[in-house]
Every structure is written in C-alpha cells, then in structure tokens.
Amino acid sequence: MSDHLVKKRLGYALVLGSLAALGPLCTDLYLPALPSLANELNTNTATSQLSLTAGLLGLGAGQLIFGPLSDRFGRMRPLLLSLMLLLGASVWCAMAPNIDQLIIARLLQGIAGAGGAVLSRAVARDLYSGHDLTKFFALLMLVNGLAPIIAPVLGGGLLTFLSWRGIFGALATISILLFIFSATKLHETLPVERRSQGGAGAMIKSLGMLLRERQFMGLCLTQGFIMAGMFAYIGASPFVLQQIYHLSPVTFSLCFAINGMGLVLAAQVSTRLAAVWGELMMVKIGLIIAAVASVILVIAGALQAPLVTLLVPLFFSIINIGIIGPNAGSLAMQSQGRNAGSASALLGVSMFALGATSVPLTGIGGTSALSMALTLCGCFAIAILIFVLVAHPTFAKKTAAA
C-alpha cells in the first residue's frame, strides 16, 4: 500500500463511514418515535415494528442491486443514484398518511440507503487488503459506530420539538448533503479494466460463485446472524425500555448510546489485538462473549430483573458486534477482489435480511425483555453453529495443507 493511501486512510474512513452510516440512520434515528408513531397512526406495536422490518429488508435487497451494479459500472454512478432515491423515499415517509404507506416507503428508503453501506465496503476493498483492510474496516466501524450512538439521541432530541414526520424530514436533508459531499469529494476507485463484463446474467453468475464458496458464506452467515441479534435489540428495546421500564425517550437514547460506544471501543481494541492474534481468533473471542452474555440476558429477562441487572448483560451482548464485525468481514472480503461489490452485497444482505426476520420475532405474544433476550440468544446460537460447522473447518484445512 502506498504512502499516499496510508495518509488518506482516515479521510476515506470519514467519507465512507458517513455513507455506511446511512443504514443505522435509517433504522436508529426514528427508534424513540416508534411508540408515538404507533399511537398517531392508530396501530399496534407489532405492526409499527413492520416499518423497521421493511427498512431492514430494503437495506438487504438494495445491496444485491447496488453491489453487482458497482462491479459492472463503477462505484460512483450507483452511489449517486442511491442517494437521489433516498431523498424521494424519505419525503414519502414524512408524508405517509397511514401505516401501510409508511411500510412501503420504508422499504424503498432501505433499498436506497443500501447504496452507501455496500459501496463503502467495496471501495475499501478496492484500496486495501490484508491487515490494512481489517484496520480500515475498524476505522469504518469507528465512524459508522457514531451513527447508532448519535442517531437515537438525536432522534429523542428532535422529538422534543418535532413529530416523527420531522425525523424523516431530517433524513431527507441528510441525503441531500451526502449527495453533494459524495459528488464533490469522492472519486472512482474501480478502473474500467477491472470491471465485470456482461449484463444481468454476469452479475447473477458472480453472486452464484460466491454462494458456493464455503469459507466466505460461513463467515457471511456468522456475521449475519450476529447482526440479526443486534437488530432484534434495536427493534424491541424502545418498547422494553420505554413502556416496561418507563424510561423517557431521551433516557432511552442515552442507554442506547452507551451500548453503541461500547461497540465502537470493542471494534478498535479487537483490531489492534487482531494484528497479534489474527482475525480468526478475534472472531472466536467475540462468539464466546456473545454466548455467555446472551444466556445471562435470558435469565435476567425470565426473572423480570431490575433495569441495571438487565442492562449489563445487554451491554456485553451488543459489544461483541464490534469484535466479530470487522474481523469476520475482513476475512470474508480478503479473498474477493474483482467481485468485491457482489461480496459486499452478500455480506450486507445477510445482515439486513436476517435482521428483518428477527425483529418481528420479539413481538410475538407481546414485546418483553424475555422475548428480546430469547431472540438475541437464538440468533447468537445459530451464528456459533454456522461458524463451527461451516466456516472454521475451511481454515483448519488450509492450515493442514500449509
């Protein structure tokens, strides 16, 4: 890697991290408004959570669109298109007269917001490899991690003088600013000679090849189910902490921010340790933390424990994302060069599609601390099984062959 790229690493992380933050912003900014949104639109908790589910499905589906497109046409044109679509979808969300239209608009908003998420990883792979890629992913998580910390706090603050519709208006404003920023500050990182050839058939073939790579898909699904647990927390925590434990929107946002800060710090520490112990070891450590913390969280939920007793295992359940995320993502992307956009898309779609499935599970029979904890624990258990049975054996074979 050239000295020029080393000097530019932080700058790229700030720009690409802001784009990657579109996913968390689309989901987290309006979290404190979910209860009031449900009341105003005359709907119940489970139905209002479908607006979050729709956004997550869109974030997953959009990556399957913009990832392969970026391998074919370069990174910039799909990125600017996604930001234009995000503006239109955010305006529709702000003006939606009922929950049905809001769910549709949220789906489109998620599709549009996926552009920044998938292309930030693809551009990183264009520029870096090996431990440099892991370090850059950690920088992305540092910048990107500010979004889930700031977004609910900002959303809670906005609710003091705006309705939930105003929050979607804020997202529309953010999309305009990011469009201007991207158009003036970024440049194309995928030369024409490195772009995939052919039309839709070639893009589908590229995705099909990745689906057959056991190591890549094992890491992809491991990360996906870990993130599904986090999205279950994102979808259920506003109701658990505000309606059951009676926290105000601002206090809830502060609790959410503490967990986000822990996630960011865990990402930075794990990346430094990965330079010594390796990314594979850090993934294993993260999965152990996930297992222990989520089991304790289930016990706390079953006993209807006091708030502090619930928040401590919840904190450790969330920070493992910062350990597993950059390390598993780097291991998965390191083997992908020409197909970085498609690989990034599959990483993203696994996270958001599985997350969209986990959110409604927390509302079955009524959202509670126990339902949230059981969903987290179940997602983490599946992630561990996939890693042990699918991903890890491929590393063992490579070690034996060496």
Which of 269, 394, 396 shows the shortest CA–CA distance to 325?
269
Mean pLDDT score, 372-396: 90
| The residue count for the chain | 402
Give the Cα separation of 27 and 24 in Å (integer): 5
d(CA 158, CA 169): 11
Whether pLDDT at 364 is above 60: yes
Residue range of the domain that includes 73? 8-401
Average pLDDT over residues 216-229: 90
Distance CA 364, CA 357 (A): 12
**Does some domain include residue 368?**
yes
pLDDT computed for residue 12 by the predictor? 66
375 in a domain, yes or no?
yes
Each residue of 255-311: pLDDT tens digit?
888 888 888 888 888 888 988 898 899 999 999 999 999 999 999 999 988 999 999
Those residues whose C-beta lies under 8 Å from the C-beta of residue 265, and which sit 6 or more positions away, are 319, 322
Whether the predicted pLDDT of 107 surpasses 90: yes
| 369, part of any domain | yes
The model carries a pTM of 0.71
Q: Does residue 361 fall inside a structural domain?
A: yes
d(CA 90, CA 391): 38
Tens-place pLDDT, residues 75-91: 888 889 999 999 999 99
Cα separation, 328 vs 125, in Å, equals 14
Q: How confident is the model at residue 104 (pLDDT cuts 50, 70, 90)?
A: very high
Specify the range with the lowest mean pLDDT, choosing from 24-38, 134-148, 279-293.
Answer: 134-148
- The H-or-E segment that residue 42 falls in is none
1 falls in which pLDDT band (50, 70, 90)? very low
Q: Contact 126/189 with Cβ under 8 angstroms? A: yes
Q: Is residue 266, in this structure, part of any structural domain at all?
A: yes
Instruction: Specify the pLDDT at position 297.
Output: 95
Residue with tokens 């969330």: 318
pLDDT at 372: 92
Instruction: Indicate if the pLDDT at residue 402 is higher than 70.
Output: no
**Tally of domains within the chain:** 1
CATH number of the domain to which 163 belongs: 1.20.1250.20
The answer to the question of residue 3 being in a domain is no
For 112-168, the three-class secondary structure string (H helix, E strand, C coil) is: HHHHHHHHHHHHHHHHCCHHHHHHHHHHHHHHHHHHHHHHHHHHHHHCCCCCHHHHH
Burial of 213 (0-12, 13-18, 19+ CB in 10 A): middle
Task: Give residue 108's pLDDT band: very low, low, confident or very high (50, 70, 90).
Answer: very high
Inside any domain, residue 1? no
- For the stretch 45-72, pLDDT in tens is 778 878 888 888 888 788 788 877 887 7
Give domain status of residue 2, yes or no: no
